[in-house]
Each structure stands twice: as C-alpha cells, then as structure tokens.
Structure 1
Amino acid sequence: MSVSQLVMVCWAALVVLSVGTVMLGAPGLWEAVLVLAVAKAWVIADGFMELRHAPGLWRGLLLGWPVVLVGVIAVTRF
C-alpha cells in the first residue's frame, strides 16, 4: 500500500470513528466513547505519524499514553 493510500485509509477510519463517537456520546455511553478515543489515537500515531517504523520505546510510549489516560479516567469515574 502506498503512503497516499495509507493516509486515505487512516482518514476514512478517523471519520468512521468520529461519527461513532458522536453517535455513542449522545446516549451517554462514555465507556465506548473512551474506547473509540483510544482507537483514534492509535490510528493517528501509527498511520499519520508513522510510528510503526519508530523504535519500540517511542511507539510503546505514544500508544500506551492514551490507554493510561483512559485508565485514569475510568478509575476516577467510579
């Protein structure tokens, strides 16, 4: 897959995930919204920022940070 095709696929995925966030946010399904937010962060990091080619530490930190934030939000929510 060429770079331009990958960027288009990432863009389409972000559009779908954003629409899903709006649709799930209206009825108050905040857990699902957080999961979609992590998915969007991963698409941005791996797709647009091309971290899949980065050293493991950088990739792990940037893909792990949204998970940590969601964990903190989930813990403080209860």
Structure 2
Amino acid sequence: MITLKQTIISWLFLIILTFSSVYIGQVIETPEYLIALVLLIVFLKGQQVTDVFMELRTAPKMWRLLLLGYVFIIPAVICVIYLL
C-alpha cells in the first residue's frame, strides 16, 4: 500500500521532472542530446506513474512489466527514429 507521504514525494518528483524537461528544452541546443534527455525524463515519469499512482509495484509482475515495457519501448523507438 502506498502512503500519502510516498504519493506526495512522487508527485513532487514528477513536477521537478516536468520543469527539468522545460529547462533542458531551452538550454540544450544539440537536438540529439535534447531528445535523449527528454525521453529519459519521459521514462522516469512513466515509471513513477506506473509504480506509485497506478500502484503496480505490488501487482503481478506481468502487468507491471507490460506497462514498464511500454514506457521503455515507445521512447526508445522514438529516439531511434528521430536520430536516424
């Protein structure tokens, strides 16, 4: 069971990641680094949503791995397509 404190910490982490992606978008001028960093942030945010807000950390492993796989594979495919 996820506690209120864990939820608030996760929410603050998501806010920090969102502001970080905006900041990175304004500071980094190299598109390759920008795409890689923003997609890394997307993965971290997806992992937080899956584990904390959907509470799949304690769910059967298949469901957790399916959603985390989706969160990992889609940004990776986007990164490969963009960088080629």
Q: Determine if the TM-score, normalized by the shorter chain, exceeds 0.5.
A: yes
1:30-54: CA deviation from partner (whole Å, max 9, x where unpaired):
2100000110000111011111010
SS at 2:57 equivalent: helix
Aligned to 1:68: 73
Identity of counterpart residues, as a percentage?
A: 34
Matched, 1:32 2:37: yes
Aligned to 1:56: 61
Higher relative contact order (CA 8 A, sep 6+): 2
The alignment's TM-score, normalised by the length of structure 1, stands at 0.91
SS at 1:53 equivalent: coil
The alignment's TM-score, normalised by the length of structure 2, stands at 0.85
User: Any unmatched runs of 5+ in structure 1?
Assistant: none
Aligned partners of 2:35 and 2:79 also within 8 Å: no
Aligned to 1:18: 18
Aligned residues: 78
